[in-house]
Amino acid sequence: MVKYKSILLSIILITAVICPATAKPTGYIGSASCEVCHKEVYDLWKTSKHAAAFKPEQENPETCNACHTTFLNVVDQCSTENNVGCEACHGPGDEHVKNNGDALKIISSNSADICGRCHNGNRSDNISWTEEYKPGMKLSDIRGLRLIPVASDKTVPSVKDIHPSLTYNMWLASGHAKTPDRKLEINSKKWEGPVTCAACHAPHYSTYKAILTMESSDLCRSCHFQGEVLKGFGAKGIEETRSLHTAAACVACHMTEKNHLMKMLRPDDPDLSEERLDSCSDCHEVKDRKMRTAQLLDMEAWYREAFEPVQADLKTIDAKLKGNPDILNAKLKVRLKDVKDNLSIIINDGSNGVHNLDYALEIMYLAKRELKEIKEALK
């Protein structure tokens, strides 16, 4: 009898959330209607977490269901679907269907705001505000919305007790959100503007981890050249010098705790609490923050000790050439250009040697030798 009551209660909880015809919003037709024309995408979505987002055991349906169902009717506490269906991201599909699949009658957008509606860990005035957002809107247009702030120059915030994380908030503060005019090619697809969620994550489903569109490091290398630095090739006059860090995926260091600032959690960060793992200790077997700090500071010191004299030599040479551009012969001009091109590799890399210290040092040692000869010719 108890078991029967439990099953019955579950059925009631599952079905009660679906709006009756009188309470259903205009234009919503349900994901099953999309299957007719978009079966391949529909079948992918059916295997996704979005398709199973609704949990009958949720303790606070009034605050949870705005994200765990499709179009929540706040007054009646009912929705059109017990999942994150097609219309949760594309808006109502009735007009799209009535007009023979007219693409202008449905929302098809790569905007991060569509994902950010739920993936932000936010609540405003203790009331879920997500039900007010509809695909095509900007989150900034929502009344009363106060996103939990994330600063790119501060320690990555902990999301241990924040559901569902601060993914959107971190993205908004990241470099990925600040590329409005950039044109890229990601996974063989043309991409313009900010690198939003859909650039890296498959909106419907993917067999790759975190529903990425491809393996994580391959995805990063679609835009970032640092993979060449890790492998240690590209510099003229330098043999390939592979880094030990090549074995680590980019996200292992740059997305510790799944942070979407793409920022390392440095072991020497005084604001990083002891219960959190820094990015170095997250991979290395010995979880000793003092040891990792010492190693990191040593690497950066060796880099600076080699880099600063080379920069000083370049400054001296450039000052001389400014006064007399023809003081160097053609061969030395080519060698100087090669030095600058090589140095630009590690300068643009931006890791101060962490990606591949041996490679960076080899580049700078060669630069020092070359610049010494060039300075002699300027006397």
Cα separations in angstroms, 252 against 94, 159, 221, 283, 363: 44, 17, 14, 7, 26
Long-range contacts of 269-272 (CB under 8 A, 24+ apart): 269/155, 271/154, 271/155, 272/155
Helix (H/G/I), strand (E/B), else coil: 124: strand
Q: Which of 6-15, 225-234, 270-279 has the lowest mean pLDDT?
A: 6-15
Tell me which amino acid residue 38 is. H
201-238 exposure pattern, b = at least 16 Cβ within 10 A, e = fewer: bbbbbeeeeebbbbebbebbbbeeebebbbbbeebeeb
Cβ contacts of 240 within 8 Å, gap of 6 or more: 231, 232, 233
- Cβ 301 vs Cβ 360: under 8 Å: no
Q: What is the DSSP letter of 242?
A: -
User: Which residues, in sequence order, are bridge partners of residue 78?
Assistant: 73
Q: Per the omega criterion (within 30 degrees of 0), is the bond before 20 cis? A: no
Q: pLDDT, tens digit, for every residue of 330-375?
A: 999 999 999 999 999 999 999 999 999 999 999 999 999 999 999 9
Q: What angle do CA 188, 348, 312 make, to 5 degrees?
A: 165
Q: 375 CB contacts (<8 Å, ≥6 apart)?
A: 313, 316, 317
CA distance 367 to 364: 5
CA dist 227 and 253 (Å) reads 14
What are the φ/ψ torsions at residue 73 (nearest 5 degrees)?
-85, 105
At 78 the three-state DSSP class reads strand
In the block, tokens 């650039």 appear at: 199
The token duo for 299 is: 């690497």
- pLDDT of amino acid 294: 96
CA 102, CA 184: separation in Å to the nearest integer?
A: 28
* pLDDT tens, residue by residue, 136-185: 999 888 877 788 899 999 999 999 888 888 999 999 999 999 887 778 88
* Residue type present at position 155: T
Q: Supply the pLDDT for residue 128.
A: 53
* The pLDDT of residue 14 is above 60: no
Q: Are 267 and 289 in contact (CB under 8 A)?
A: yes
Cβ(322)–Cβ(264) below 8 Å: no
Range in 88-97, 139-148, 238-247 the model is least confident about: 139-148
Q: What's the average model confidence in pLDDT over 57-76?
A: 80
| 51 in Cβ contact with 83 (< 8 Å) | yes
Res. 191 pLDDT band, cuts 50 70 90: confident
Six-digit token string for 2: 């108890």
Which SS3 state, helix, strand or coil, does residue 70 take?
strand
96: left (phi over 0), alpha (psi -120 to 50) or beta: alpha
Query: Long-range contacts of range 181-189, CB-CB < 8 Å, 24 or more positions apart?
Result: 184/222, 184/223, 185/222, 186/213, 186/219, 186/222, 186/223, 187/213, 187/214, 187/219, 187/222
DSSP state of 118: T
User: Rounded to an integer, what distance in angstroms lies between the CA atom of residue 158 and that of residue 2?
Assistant: 42
Give φ, ψ of 80 to 5 degrees. -80, -25
b (16+ CB within 10 A) / e for 44-71:
bbeebebbebbeeeeeebeebbbbbbbb
Give the mean model confidence (pLDDT) for residues 277-300: 92
Residue-averaged pLDDT of the chain: 89
Q: Which has the minimum average pLDDT: 23-32, 123-132, 227-236, 292-301?
A: 123-132
